[in-house]
Amino acid sequence: SQQGEEDPQALSIQEGENATMNCSYKTSINNLQWYRQNSGRGLVHLILIRSNEREKHSGRLRVTLDTSKKSSSLLITASRAADTASYFCATAPNAGNMLTFGGGTRLMVKP
């Protein structure tokens, strides 16, 4: 069964707007990761946030983690058409354990 579930399943925005995607999970985790997948391609690792961290930034990406609510959010600021992709969260219960992926959010950024 899925550990992580993304919300919304699909999101359509205009270029320049911010995009926010959420991920909820069920059991305790060591870390949570976000990946991007362009259509028909493999996944690309974007960012990892550990359970003792609350927020992390990487370029236009901002990830937050609330372990009390078992949820995370990915914010993409000033979106571009090239950001159009599916975004997946993945969790690991312990360091070194395998990741469990959610169902993804399909983001479309219109030029």
Chain-centroid distance of CA 31 in Å reads: 12
Contacts with another protein in 65-84 (CB under 8 A)? none
75 burial type by CB count under 10 A (0-12 exposed, 13-18 middle, 19+ buried): middle
Is residue 99 a contact point for another protein (CB under 8 A)? yes
One of 35, 76, 83, 107 touching another protein (CB under 8 A): 35
> Strand 71-76 to strand 4-7: parallel, antiparallel, or no bridges (unpaired)?
unpaired
Return residues touching another protein (CB under 8 A).
2, 30-31, 33, 35, 40-45, 48, 50, 86, 88, 90, 92, 95-96, 98-99, 101-104, 106
